[in-house]
Structure 1
Amino acid sequence: MRRFLFLAALLLLPTGAQGQTSPDAAMSQVAERSPLFQQARRTVIKAIDSLSDAEARRLTRAALLAPDDCVQHRVGLDSEKQRKIVEALVAQGFLDDRHQTAAGMEEARKMLFPPLLDDSEACPRLATPVLTAPGGNSGSHHSWPGGLAEHIATNLASGTALIRAYRSERAQIDRDSVVGAILWHDWAKALVLHWQADGNTAPELRVAGTGAHHILGLAEAMRRGLPARWVAAQACAHAAPEGEDRDRVSDWIDAAAIIAGKDPALFPVQGSPECLISHLSDQNWVFGDAAIAAAEISLAAAAPEAGFDPADRPRYNLCFRNPMLTRLGADAIFASGDRPIPPLPIRETRMSPCLSQGGL
């Protein structure tokens, strides 16, 4: 169907993949080798460097780029404190009925507070770089290694274009608030969207009617003391606070404040220009979901020629689907239609299986 399409994966499989490497670590290596990822990361770095608030710029650079950065909302948060937070979320109606029981609350705790490196120490850390994480749940937009960087880069392009458009109409727009909100909104996907042994991402808890990444990203921004106007704009990513959605955005602020241990009144819900642009810039998922649906079909059809069986989910996902999407991106496959994708340069003509007995 698309002859040689599979050869892209050869450049992306992690070295020594037959060893006992965790799926997160292996997929992080796959992302690092992708030119698309490297370009997106440069875009993110440029956006960080463009922020005028020096302290907020330092905090953002650390959160997105520093391998030894501490996850601040987890500092000093032992399992008992985590349970109290979950209980508070339940009391406010922010978790669904499934998580009202003792067993359900424990499940919610584990999903909301996944393990970190040095979890019990003063500086809990993520195991892999933030930007190498997937940008969406399996089957949704940017759901491949490094997709997070590409998703943020696309949203930055949309957001800055909207700033220029409205400024041309003489609207006063605080650029830092918009760019800062976009950079921070999906930070917590690196926290909750872990790769599992089958090559899919872990299920994501819903809090206050939205994905936990949205709430946790707000909690982290609050805990780090980022400007309140940034946090308010960040809260608008999943909905604009207009009409009935005003209560939804307010709930997200309240839920995040419970986790961060902050007063939600410090982050008033406002339908500001920055809030609305933040919301519009996050609508890239509309195109992205259509693109991934089309790409999944194309890749499954091309897989047998490359020696992969889509029914063998772990090997197909970890050794073919994820590396292919990391190399090409779903958007390019989607937009190509029936046009063949040109062969990509390779250094070898035989692929070693990236899965051995016992997994990655």
Structure 2
Amino acid sequence: MSSEHLNRRDFLKIGALAGAAAAVSAVPVRAMAAPAVRTLEECMSMTPEAMADASGPVSASWRSILKAAAAIRNPAIRASVEQILNNPTPSVIKGMSGSNKKAIYKELSAKGLIEGVSEADFLPPAASADASPQPFRSAPGSGYQSHHAYPGGLCTHTGLNTRVSIALYDGYREVYDYMLDRDVVIAAQLLHDLHKPWVFQWDANGESRTERKLAGTGEHHTLGVAESIARRLPADVIVAQACAHNHPRTEKDEAQVVGWLTAASVIAGVDPVAYGLLAKGGKTLPMPRRQEGFVTHLGDHDWVLTVPACQWILPTMEKVAMRDYGISKSDLKAKPFNQFRNYVFSQATIMSLYETYAAKGEAELVRTIHSIVTPA
């Protein structure tokens, strides 16, 4: 199931029109419409799905993600990616009995790939291997004090990262005069956070589940790689996906990627060398190392600003919540504030709110918040 390639001559024959059409397929229509104004009481009863679906930026990002997936030329890869996006089920746990889970945990522990996490907690809760705990479009982009921490944050994060990855692909083609595997570039970035809907499930108090560590990084990463293995995606896509959290530039860096691929292979029940995920001996990636993994890693850097952006505007959000909406200090760690911030962040995005704050000041940030949720 290797990805289909086009050589340079064939690409040029396609012509500028086809190239433009392919580029447009991954670009969303910008959503500039003002969000629906809600009362705080209305926010309290909204589900994460309802908040995400009400958001212009989230909806536009979701459309761009689906368009990017549709631009994958290899039909088998395209079908797998679209299936995951539309229902990111934890199928990797299918058939995983208690004894099997125990054996997997024991092997991960023996290999030093899991520490500080109990056997009971090393996988997120899942009611079924055939249904996702939530849609892709309603999941946050990360933990509650981290990047894109709002319903639909996964969409805006993945949407931007995919655009960046495609831009890097185009840059290599235009500057260095060669083509990477575009299918791998797109698929790896679209799938790089595929299990955040499973890992970051929303609690009744409006906060997302706390993520555990697995193979030295957030569990969503290794579990996502394991899912791609379980769904039998091509090795080159999976290796590039695994590189999202680090690049194989040095031995130390590569050892991390090897660890994630090894742990994912244990969970999925495959031999990583036989699958083509690791070179003979299991110490490095397949040689020579492909550049698509570096593009995936570089593309996955939307978090660099969005983590501090979230942390920098939260004090203002808390102050406004208490002063203008009657939310008590004790409720800043409870549902009233969580639902308030979830709706504001989902409708405006953390990035847009931070840019308003940075460029126009706190007064304009407060005015923007008031335009989304009516003050008491």
* Partner residue, 1:327: 347
Which has the bigger relative contact order, CA under 8 A and spacing at least 6? 1
Cα contact 2:169–2:182 (8 A) shared by 1: yes
Cα contact 2:344–2:369 (8 A) shared by 1: no
In structure 2, C-alpha distance between the alignment counterparts of 1:225 and 1:10, rounded to whole Å: 47
The CA deviation string for residues 96-131 of structure 1, in whole angstroms up to 9 with x for no partner, is 1x34xxxx32333xxx14122xx3xxx531132122
Question: Which amino acid counterpart does residue 115 of structure 1 have in structure 2?
Answer: A
Q: 1:11 to 1:146 in 2, by over 3 A?
A: farther
> Is residue 204 from structure 1 mapped to residue 211 from structure 2 by the alignment?
yes
> Is residue 57 from structure 1 mapped to residue 58 from structure 2 by the alignment?
no
Q: Which of 169, 190, 195 is equivalent to 1:163?
A: 169
For residue 330 of structure 2, give the secondary structure of its aligned residue in structure 1.
coil
Q: 1:308: how far off?
A: 2.3
> Is residue 48 from structure 1 mapped to residue 54 from structure 2 by the alignment?
no
In structure 2, C-alpha distance between the alignment counterparts of 1:8 and 1:176, rounded to whole Å: 40
Q: 1:12 to 1:282 in 2, by over 3 A?
A: farther
Q: Mean alpha-carbon deviation: is it higher for 163-172 or for 245-254?
A: 163-172
Question: Which amino acid counterpart does residue 166 of structure 2 have in structure 1?
Answer: T
Q: 1:79 to 1:30 in 2, by over 3 A?
A: farther
- Give aligned pairs, total: 324
The 5 A counterparts of 1:101-120 are 104-108=118-122, 112-116=123-127, 119=128
Q: Which of 313, 334, 351 is equivalent to 1:314?
A: 334
Cα contact 1:216–1:256 (8 A) shared by 2: yes
Cα contact 2:225–2:241 (8 A) shared by 1: yes
> Is residue 232 from structure 1 mapped to residue 243 from structure 2 by the alignment?
no
Cα contact 1:197–1:314 (8 A) shared by 2: no
In structure 2, C-alpha distance between the alignment counterparts of 1:348 and 1:94, rounded to whole Å: 45
For residue 335 of structure 2, give the secondary structure of its aligned residue in structure 1.
helix
In structure 2, C-alpha distance between the alignment counterparts of 1:347 and 1:147, rounded to whole Å: 17
Cα contact 1:11–1:346 (8 A) shared by 2: no
* Partner residue, 2:144: 138
Cα contact 1:9–1:324 (8 A) shared by 2: no
Q: 1:89 to 1:347 in 2, by over 3 A?
A: closer
Q: 1:203: how far off?
A: 1.7
In structure 2, C-alpha distance between the alignment counterparts of 1:347 and 1:228, rounded to whole Å: 45
Q: 1:162: how far off?
A: 0.9
Normalising by structure 2, we get a TM-score of 0.80
Q: 1:10: how far off?
A: 3.8
Q: 1:350 to 1:253 in 2, by over 3 A?
A: same
The CA deviation string for residues 193-235 of structure 1, in whole angstroms up to 9 with x for no partner, is 1122443222211111001100010011011111111001001
For residue 85 of structure 1, give the secondary structure of its aligned residue in structure 2.
helix
For residue 245 of structure 2, give the secondary structure of its aligned residue in structure 1.
coil
In structure 2, C-alpha distance between the alignment counterparts of 1:257 and 1:325, rounded to whole Å: 36
* Partner residue, 2:317: 299
The CA deviation string for residues 270-315 of structure 1, in whole angstroms up to 9 with x for no partner, is 5321010000011111011121112212211221212323530223
> Is residue 30 from structure 1 mapped to residue 37 from structure 2 by the alignment?
no
* Partner residue, 1:185: 192
> Is residue 275 from structure 1 mapped to residue 293 from structure 2 by the alignment?
yes
* Partner residue, 1:356: none
Q: 1:236 to 1:347 in 2, by over 3 A?
A: closer
Cα contact 2:35–2:372 (8 A) shared by 1: no
In structure 2, C-alpha distance between the alignment counterparts of 1:316 and 1:218, rounded to whole Å: 36
The CA deviation string for residues 308-359 of structure 1, in whole angstroms up to 9 with x for no partner, is 23530223333201111001111111111206156689899688xxxxxxxx
Normalising by structure 1, we get a TM-score of 0.83
Cα contact 2:247–2:293 (8 A) shared by 1: yes
Q: 1:257: how far off?
A: 0.4
In structure 2, C-alpha distance between the alignment counterparts of 1:78 and 1:260, rounded to whole Å: 13
Identical residues among aligned pairs (%): 28
Q: 1:63: how far off?
A: 1.0
* Partner residue, 1:262: 270
Q: Mean alpha-carbon deviation: is it higher for 142-151 or for 25-34?
A: 25-34
